[in-house]
Chain A
Amino acid sequence: MQKRLVLDQQQIGIILRRFCHQLIENHDNFENTVLLGLQPRGSILMDHLAPILEEISGVKVPFGYLDATFHRDDFRRRDFPLKANETKINFLVEGKKVILVDDVLYKGRSVRAAMDAMIAFGRPQKVELMVLVDRKLTRDYPIMPDYYGIRVNTLDSQYVVVEWANQGQTENAVWITEKVKS
C-alpha cells in the first residue's frame, strides 16, 4: 500500500507547542476556557496537548472528552451501528469558551455532530475548532478550523492516518494512505 509521510515526530511536537502559544494569545489566562477532545482520536491529541499547555501557560485548563456517536447523521445508513465511546465532562459549558479538539477535519460531519452533543452541556459563549490535519476542499458542511497543524490536499480515495507513540506505534506521525479497494 502506498504511504506518504506528512508530519513526523519532530514536526508534530513543534505544532503542539505552536497550538499552545496560539491559545495563550487568544485566551489570555484561560479564565473562562475549556477544552473538549472529540472521541476517540481527538481525545488522544488533547491528552498530548494538555500537559504542554500547562507547562507553557502555568494554568491547568479544564478538559473533557466528548463522544458524538449518538448525534451522528449517518445513523441507519451504515451496515452496523457505530460503537460509542465514553463521554467524560464534569463541568457545564454554559457561558464558557469551548475549544473542540480533533485530529483530522474531513467532511465536517463529526464536528457538526459534536456541536450538537455539546449543547447538552449548556450554551457556550464561543466555540473554536482545533485540528491537527485539515483536509482541503473536502467539506460537506460550512466548517473551518480556527487552529490547524497542517493543510493537505487529499483525494476521497485516501485516508489520513494519525499515529501516536503511546498507542502502540514507535513514533508520532501523520500519513496519507490509499484506501484498500474491496
Chain B
Amino acid sequence: MILETAANFKEVINRPIKKVPSLRDITIANVFFENSTRTRLSFELAEKRLSADVINFSSSNSSVKKGESLVDTVNNILSMKVDMVVMRHSSPGAPHFLSRNVNANIVNAGDGTHEHPTQALLDSFSIQEKLGDLAGKKVAIIGDILHSRVALSNIFCLKKLGAEVMVCGPITLLPKHIESLGVKVELDVKKALQWCDVANVLRIQLERQQIKYFPSLREYSLYYGINKKLLEQLDKEIVIMHPGPINRGVELASDVADSEHSIILEQVQNGVAVRMAVLYLLAGSRN
C-alpha cells in the first residue's frame, strides 16, 4: 500500500506543478534531536509538496539544552495545534516511547542505532523500481551493521517483501545473533557481491563508535571498500545503493558511486515520494 501510493506520488513530483493540496489543513513538526541533512530535507519537502504547514525544530538551539524532558518538549509543540511529529533521536526507542505518551501521530525518522523505517521503505521502493518484484531478489547489506539503523529496518522490510538478505562486514561490526533474524552472514565482501543482485553499502559510523572495531579506515577500505575493479571481477551486473552520507574512498570508491550501477541519487528522489506516501496514509483517516 505504501509503495503503491509512493509510485503515485513519484508521478506527482515529476509534474510541472509538483504540489497537491491533500494535507493543507495539517501542521507537522519536524523534531530532530540528531543531525540530518537528507532525511530532514526529504521530510520537509514531502510535507510541503503535500501542502502541510511545517515547523522545524532542532535540539541544538532549543530549550532541551535547558533541561526540558522529551515528553514536555513534544507536548508543548503539540499544544500549538500541531497534528503530527516527525522525529529523529539518538536514543533507540524514543519515538515509540513518545507515541505511547503523547496524543499524536509520530513518524520515526531514525532512532539511534535501532531503526529507520522510511529509509527501508525507500530502499525497497528503489529496488522494486529497478528490478521489479522484490520476491526472491538477493540483497546484501555491507558495512557497519552493528551501528546501523538502516540495516535493521532494511532486514525487516526486505524480508517482509520476500527478498533474501545477507549481511556482510568485519566480524566486530556484525551484531551477535544477527542470523536469528533470518539473514545470511558473510565476512568476505567478494563472496557477498557475487551472491547478491543488489548491494546496499553502509557508512562506517565513527560518531557512534566509542572503541576501535578495526585497525584503521585504510585497512577497512582495503578489505571492505567497493571499487570498480571489484565489480568488474563479477560475472554479472549488480545494483549499488547507499543511504548516504557517503564517505568516498572508504566504503565506496568514486568510480562506483558515480557509475551507472549506482542508484544512489534515485534513492534520494524516491525518498520524497515514499515519505509523502507515509504522511498521506497516516494523516488520511478521520482519527
Chain A residues with CB under 8 Å of chain B are: 67, 69-71, 75-88, 92, 116-117, 119-122
Chain B residues with CB under 8 Å of chain A are: 1, 4-5, 7-8, 11-12, 15-17, 19-23, 25-26, 50, 280-281, 283-286
In the complex, the answer to whether A121 meets B286 with C-beta atoms within 8 Å is: no
In the complex, the answer to whether B20 meets A78 with C-beta atoms within 8 Å is: no
Across the interface, name the chain B residue whose C-beta is closest to A119.
Answer: B17
In the complex, the answer to whether B284 meets A120 with C-beta atoms within 8 Å is: no
Q: Which DSSP category, helix, strand, loop or mixed, fits chain A's interface? A: loop
Give the residues in chain A near B50, CB-CB below 8 Å. 70
Give the residues in chain A near B5, CB-CB below 8 Å. 83-84
Q: Which DSSP category, helix, strand, loop or mixed, fits chain B's interface? A: loop
In the complex, the answer to whether B8 meets A87 with C-beta atoms within 8 Å is: yes
CB proximity of B266 to chain A, nearest CB, Å: 19
Across the interface, name the chain B residue whose C-beta is closest to A94.
Answer: B16
Give the residues in chain A near B15, CB-CB below 8 Å. 120-121
CA distance A147 to B27 in the complex (A): 41
In the complex, the answer to whether B280 meets A80 with C-beta atoms within 8 Å is: no
CB proximity of B110 to chain A, nearest CB, Å: 25
In the complex, the answer to whether A71 meets B285 with C-beta atoms within 8 Å is: no
Which of A75, A87, A119 lies in contact with B284, CB distance below 8 A? A75
In the complex, the answer to whether B16 meets A85 with C-beta atoms within 8 Å is: no
Q: List 12 A-B contacts (CB under 8 A).
A: A70-B50, A76-B25, A79-B286, A83-B1, A83-B4, A84-B5, A84-B8, A86-B8, A116-B21, A119-B17, A120-B17, A121-B16
CA distance A121 to B18 in the complex (A): 10
> Lowest 3 A-B CB distances belong to which pairs?
A81-B284, A70-B20, A120-B17
